[in-house]
Amino acid sequence: MTAVTLETTAAADRRRGPRGLLWATLRVHRSALWFWVMLMAVGAGVLLWAYGPGADAAWAEYRSRGCLDGRPSLGCDMGGPAAERYQSATALAGGLIGLVPFLAAAWAGAALVGRELESGTARLAWTQSVSPARWLAAKLAVPAALLVAGMAVLTLLHRLVWTSDSSLRTTIGAADWHQSPAYEANGTLATAYALLGLAVGALAGLLARRALPALGTAVLALGALMIVVGDLRPHLWPVRTLTGDEYPEWTGMVVDDGALTSTGARVSDPICVDDARCLAEHDIVGYYRDFHPASHFWPLQLVETGIVLALAALAVLVSFRLLNRRTARAV
Amino acid sequence: MTETAIEAAGLGMRFGRRGKPALDGCAFRIPAGGVCAVVGPNGAGKSTLLSLAAGLTRPTAGALTVLGRSPAEVRARVGYVAQDKPLYPQLTVAETLRWGRELNPGRWDDKVAERTVAEGDLDPEGKIRTLSGGQRTRVALALALGKRPELLLLDEPMADLDPLARHQLTGTLMADAAEHGTTVVMSSHVVAELEGSCDHLLLLGAGRVRLAGPLDDLLAAHRLVTGRADASLDPHTVVEARTTGRGLTALIRPEGPRDPAWQETVPTLEELVLAHLRAPQAPVLRLDDVQEAAV
C-alpha cells in the first residue's frame, strides 16, 4: 500500500506542464488565456493577409487601372475595392493593437484582482502555503509574460506590413508614421501600454476590491494616463525647425509653427497672407515650423516607452505596498 | 503548560478611522491539540479574530502569535475555511483539489482531500458552480484538510448545512482532527452543534473576551441555581438572575458555601453561553492561564 502511494506520488511529481502558482494562475484564468490566444490569432491572421494576398490584390488593382504606366487618371487618386479591403485590414489590426491596453486594464481590474477580492478567493489563496505578495507577483508576472509575447508578435507583424508597403501606403493615402495607432503598433509603445494597463488594472482591483468598480476605475485611469503622456509625446525629443519666407513644407510630426519677426522672435501668425502693410506692421519676415522627422521615431518611441514602463512599475510598487499593509507579513 | 495554538495580547482591530473596533484589547490563550469554540453574538468579532489568526488581515493594536510565530510565518501550517466558503466557480471539484496541491507543495495529502470529497458523494468532474451550499462546504473543508494543517481555523463552518450534513461533516472533521492531532478553532453561533465536541471555549462580546478557558473548568466554575425569589445571592458573582413568580433561577459563580436550600446543577454549555449572551454586563472570567507579562 505504502509502495503504491509512493509510486503514484512520484508519478504525480513527474507530470509534465506548469506547476504551482503558474498552473493555478493559468487554470483560474483559462478563459482569458483562450481569449488572448484568439485575439492574437485574429490580429496575426489579418496582418499576414494584408502582407500577402491583401497587398498583392491592391497592387494588381492599381496596375490594372494603368496607374503605374505614367497615364494617371482620376481613378488613381481613389482606392478601389481591393485597396479599401487592404486599408480596412491594416486599420483593424492597428485598432486591435491599440485596444489591448484597455482590455488588459479592464480584465486585470475586474477578473484578475477585483473579483478575487470580492468573492474571497484571494483569501482562499493566501491561506494556502502562498503569501499575498507571491500571489500578486504570479498574478502580474504570468499575464505580463503573455502580453509581452503576444504584443511582440503583433508589433513585428505590423512593422513587417508597414515597411514592406510604404509605396502602396503613399499611393492610397493611408496613415503617416506618427499617427495612432500605427505609431504605437510599430514600436515598443504598444507593449509598454499593455503592461501599464495590466499594472493599473491590478492596482484598481486592489483599491476597489470589487470587480465592476475596478473595471471602470482601471479603464478611466489608463485613458487619463494615456492622454497625459500623449500630450507630452512631441516634447520628448528635441525638434527640428524649418524656416522660410513662406511657410515651410508640412512634414513629419509637426509640433508648432508660426511667424518670425526681424529679431528672430517667434510670434503667432497675424494672418496677413500677402498684405505687405500688415506684414510690415507686425514686423513679420518669415515663418517657422517645428517638427519631428521620421528619423526621430525611435528616440521618441523609446523615451515614451521608458516613461510608460516607469509608470507601470510605480503602479506595481504601490500595489505591493498596499497589499503588504493590509495583510499580515512575515517579519 | 501545554503548547499554544493561538495567543493574543491587547489585540485590537478597527476598520476605518471612526468605526467601532471589531476587537478591543483581547487577551487569551488557546492551547494546542484540542477543539476550541469561539462563540458570541453576530458582530462580536469572531470572524475578525479568525482572519487575523489566518494572516489575512493585520491587527491595528496588540499582537497575535499562532503556533508560536507571527501568523504570516505559519501560513503553510494553518488551514482556514471562510464563512462564505469562497471557491472558484469555474473549476471542477478535482481541479479545485489540484489547485490545493499546487499551492501547498510538500504538505498536500491527496488521500485525505479525496476521501473528504468522496464521503459527500460528489462528482469530481462537477463544476463548483453546480454544487449546493453543503457540497461547497465539503469541498472547502477538503481543501483545508488536504493541506494537513496543524491548526484549522473554521469560521461558521456548518452555518449553511442541513442537520444531517452538519452531523456528517462534524464527524469527518472531528475524526480527522483526532487522528492527526490537529488543533481546531471554530466559530459558531449555534451553540448546540458544539456540545460534546469542544474542550476549550472563547466567548466574545462586542469585541472583547467575556469567557475563556478549558470548557470543563468554565462549567465547573458556574452553578445554575433555583431557589425562592427572596433568596440572597451574596457573596456569589451573579451572571444572570431571573425571577419567575416566587422562584428564582440564576447562573452564579460560587464564592464560598451556598445556601443548602437551593437546587443547584452544573450548567450545560448552552446554558452557560446563553446566560452570558443575555447578560452582557456579566464580569469577565478567564481561566486560560495567560501570563500577561510574558506576552
Q: What is the pLDDT of residue A9?
A: 46
Q: Write down the pLDDT at residue B137.
A: 92
Residues A106 and A40 in one domain: yes
In chain B, % of residues over pLDDT 70: 97
Instruction: Note whether residue A240 is domain-resident.
Output: no
In this predicted model, which residue has the larger pLDDT, A319 or A67? A319
- Cα–Cα distances (Å) from B276 to A3, A21, A60, B117, in that order, read 54, 46, 91, 38
User: Is A199 in the same domain as A277?
Assistant: no
Annotate A281-320 with b (16+ C-beta within 10 A) or e (fewer): ebebeebbbbbbeeebbeebbbebbebbbebbeebbeebb
What pLDDT, on a 0 to 100 scale, did the predictor assign at position A4?
43
For cell 501599464, the residue is: A196
In this prediction, residue A82 carries a pLDDT of 87
A192 and A273 belong to one structural domain:
no
Together in a domain, A270 and A305: no
Q: Across the interface, do A120 and B86 touch by the CB < 8 Å criterion?
A: yes
What cell does B115 get? Answer: 476521501
C-alpha cell at B195: 456540545
Kindly report, residue by residue over A193-221, the tens digit of the pLDDT: 999 999 999 999 999 999 999 999 999 99
Residue A49 lies in a domain: yes
Same domain flag for A33 and A61? yes
Separation in Å, CA B271 to CA B22, B249, B263, B278? 25, 12, 16, 10
Q: What is the pTM of this model?
A: 0.89
The answer to which of A65-74, A214-223, B114-123, B274-283 has the lowest mean pLDDT is A65-74
Q: Which residues contact A230 (CB under 8 A, 6 or more apart)?
A: none
A237 pLDDT exceeds 90?
A: yes
Same domain, A165 and A72: yes
Q: What are the DSSP calls for B179-203, one per residue? A: HHT-EEEEEES-GGGGTTT-SEEEE
Residue A61 belongs to a domain:
yes
C-alpha grid cell, residue B90? 469555474
CB contact under 8 A, B57 and A121: no
A127 to B55: CB separation less than 8 angstroms, yes or no: yes
Contacts (Cβ under 8 Å, ≥6 apart) of A249: A242
What is the pLDDT, as a whole number, of residue A71?
Answer: 61
Cell of A44: 496575426
B chain contacts of residue A33, beta-carbon cutoff 8 Å: none
Least confident of A61-70, B104-113, B232-241, B248-257: A61-70
Q: Do B58 and A331 touch (CB under 8 A)?
A: no
A32 and A75, same domain (yes or no): yes
Interface test with A, best of B6, B48, B52, B56 (most A CBs within 10 A): B56
Reported as a single tens digit per residue, the pLDDT across B185-202 is: 999 877 777 777 888 999
Q: Tell me, yes or no, whether A12 lies in a domain.
A: no
| Residue A33 belongs to some domain of the structure | yes
The CA-atom distances, in angstroms, between B153 and each of A33, A106, A233, B78, B159 are: 34, 35, 54, 7, 15
Under CATH, which number does the domain B4-214 receive? Answer: 3.40.50.300
A327: its cell numbers: 495583510
Q: Are residues A166 and A278 in the same domain?
A: no
Cα A267 versus chain centre, distance: 36
Q: How many CB atoms lie within 10 A of CB A271?
A: 9
A9 within domain boundaries: no
Structural domain of residue A271, as residue ranges? 253-292
ipTM of this model? 0.89
- Residues above pLDDT 70, as percent of chain A: 89
Q: Which of B72, B79, B103 sits opposite A24 (nearest CB)?
A: B103
The count of domains in chain A is: 2
Where exactly does CATH 3.40.50.300 map onto chain B? 4-214
**A194 and A285 co-located in one domain:** no
Kindly report the nearest CA distance between residue A141 and chain B, in angstroms.
17
* Average pLDDT over chain A, rounded to an integer: 89
pLDDT at A92 over 90: yes
With respect to residue A246, please indicate whether it lies within any of the assigned structural domains: no
A305/A288 same-domain check: no
> Within a 10 A sphere around the Cβ of A38, how many other Cβ atoms?
10
Mark whether A200 and A96 lie in a shared domain: yes
Confidence of residue B29 (pLDDT cuts 50, 70, 90): very high
Q: Is A124 found in the same domain as A93?
A: yes
* Residue A2 belongs to some domain of the structure: no
Cβ proximity of A181 and A297 under 8 Å? no
Cβ atoms within 10 Å, residue B204:
25
